[in-house]
Amino acid sequence: MEHTIKSKKEPLIHITKRDAMPLWKAILIRVIAVVIALAVSALLVMVLTKKNPGQVFTAMFNGSFQTPRKILNMLQDVAMLLCISLAVTPAFKMKFWNIGAEGQVLMGALASATLMYKLGNTGIPNGVLIPLMFIGSILMGMIWAIIPAIFKAVWNTNETLFTLMMNYVAMQIIQICIATWATSGSGVMGVINSMNEAGWLPQIFGTKYLLNIIFVALLTVFVFIYLKFSKHGYEIAVVGESENTARYIGINVKKVILRTMALSGALCGFAGFLLVSGASHTITKELAGGMGFTAIMVSWLAKFNPAIMVGTSFLLVFLDKGASSIAMECRLSESIGEIITGIIIFFIIGCEFFIRYKINFRSSNKEVAK
């Protein structure tokens, strides 16, 4: 016969889905991923900068742990990032892609800053002012989140675009306020009430930020319980998994969307309150510093589990601080730190593939057909 079928080989590799993997194995794979990531980074550092990788990694570690002060700063950053991540998580679990956390945090911060600025010199006691700021921030964050939620629930608009654009509106509003309030048109708002510390969260045990950290720790427990054990949390999960099922069992989907976004926005507003009242005591449009977006990654990496989010937000803050520390201590450009961060995140996310899938290689000695 002239006609021959092209002789084809079995493919070299083919990929199959795994069954559930035992926990220790999954953890082992993740640990291996980090080790490989560090090894690759070390190699790269040696080749590119001719520096001792040990020195570079020490610098990285120092970024977060060198002095008690640095540790405290690191913990504050972790707390703030975690707080915003906790805020976006209920919405994400509902598959409502709220990427407007940045704007919701800023509006919350603005509410606090406004009250501090306007009432700071009226002699109002902190015992009244701080609760006022707390309520104001939560309300503003809530309003900023519930606007896109109403549009989604009633007209089914795209929440991703809507919440994203709300961020820019928030930034511009802050810009206007600063331009109006700042003295001599410098365009920068100084520390508010630096004389009488009105509206400043008190330091407990003489430690800055400690109150912030405690608040966020409590919030973590609250969100964990809310999502896992409350009826509201269950409704959020059902709406997120399947709106049809939610309708079928009689959940009012619109109500759940509005309620959950109100909560998400309120928690963002709370983060804004902590940033202004408990940390910076001023307002800029960079106050949230992109944490509203990083929080999305924190939440996803932890698969929306608040307990794991403690770890993922620590990881991201540690890497970020490490990157600038490498630049400072080793007199290298900031990029080398960012390259290392990138390599580590790449390996951590990449190893999930090996947890879910198995790679089969072509067996070299195939058995003969019977």
Partner 1 sequence: MENVAIELRGISKRFGRIQANKNVNLTLYHGEILSLLGENGSGKTTLMNMISGIYFPDEGHIFINGEEVVIKSPKDAFDNGIGMIHQHFKLVDVFTATENILLGLEEKGRFDVKAATKKVEELCNKYGFILDPNKKIYEMSVSEKQTVEIIKVLYRGANILILDEPTAVLTPQEARKLFDIMRKMKEDGKAIIIITHKLHEVLSVSDRVTVLRKGETIGSVPTSEATVESLTEMMVGKKVALNIDRIDPVDPKERLVVEGLNCINREGVKVLSDISFKALSGEILGIAGIAGSGQRELLEAIAGLQHINQGAITYIDPASGANKSLTDMTPMQIRALGVRLSFVPEDRLGMGLVGNMDLVDNMMLRSYSKGHSLFLQKKEPSDLAKHIVEELEVVTPNIQTPVRRLSGGNVQKVLVGREISSSPTVLMVAYPVRGLDINSSYLIYRLLNEQKKLGAAIIFVGEDLDVLVELCDRIMVLGGGHITGVVDARTTTKEEIGYLMTKSNGGEH
157 part of the interface to partner 1, by CB under 8 A: no
Neighbours of 300 (CB within 10 A): 16
245 part of the interface to partner 1, by CB under 8 A: yes
Residues 1-30 touching partner 1, rule: CB under 8 A, are: 4-5, 8-11, 14, 16-20
Least separation in angstroms between residue 67's CB and partner 1 is: 44
Residue found by looking up tokens 């601080």 in the block: 321
207 part of the interface to partner 1, by CB under 8 A: no
Residues 289-328 touching partner 1, rule: CB under 8 A, are: none
Least separation in angstroms between residue 26's CB and partner 1 is: 14
Q: How far is 221 from 82, CA to CA, in rounded Å?
A: 12
Please say which residue, 252 or 305, places its beta carbon nearer to partner 1. 252
Do the Cβ atoms of 82 and 221 come closer than 8 Å? no
252 part of the interface to partner 1, by CB under 8 A: yes
Q: Which residues pair with 361 in a beta bridge?
A: 13
The residue from 168, 222, 248, 346 that contacts partner 1 (CB under 8 A) is 248
310 token code pair: 């403690």
Report which of 66, 80, 71 is spatially closest to residue 213, judged by C-alpha positions.
80
Q: Which residues pair with 14 in a beta bridge?
A: 360
Do the Cβ atoms of 33 and 340 come closer than 8 Å? no
CA dihedral 247, 253, 255, 261 (to 10 degrees): 160
Residues 224-243 touching partner 1, rule: CB under 8 A, are: 229-232, 234, 237-238, 241-242
Please say which residue, 143 or 308, places its beta carbon nearer to partner 1. 308
Least separation in angstroms between residue 361's CB and partner 1 is: 12
Please say which residue, 4 or 183, places its beta carbon nearer to partner 1. 4
Q: Counting beta carbons within 10 angstroms of the beta carbon of residue 224, is it exposed (0 to 12), middle (13 to 18) or buried (19 or more)?
A: middle
Please say which residue, 290 or 367, places its beta carbon nearer to partner 1. 367
Size of the site for partner 1 (CB under 8 A): 32
Do the Cβ atoms of 33 and 347 come closer than 8 Å? yes
Contact footprint for partner 1 (CB under 8 A): 4-5, 8-11, 14, 16-20, 229-232, 234, 237-238, 241-242, 244-245, 247-250, 252, 360, 367, 369-370
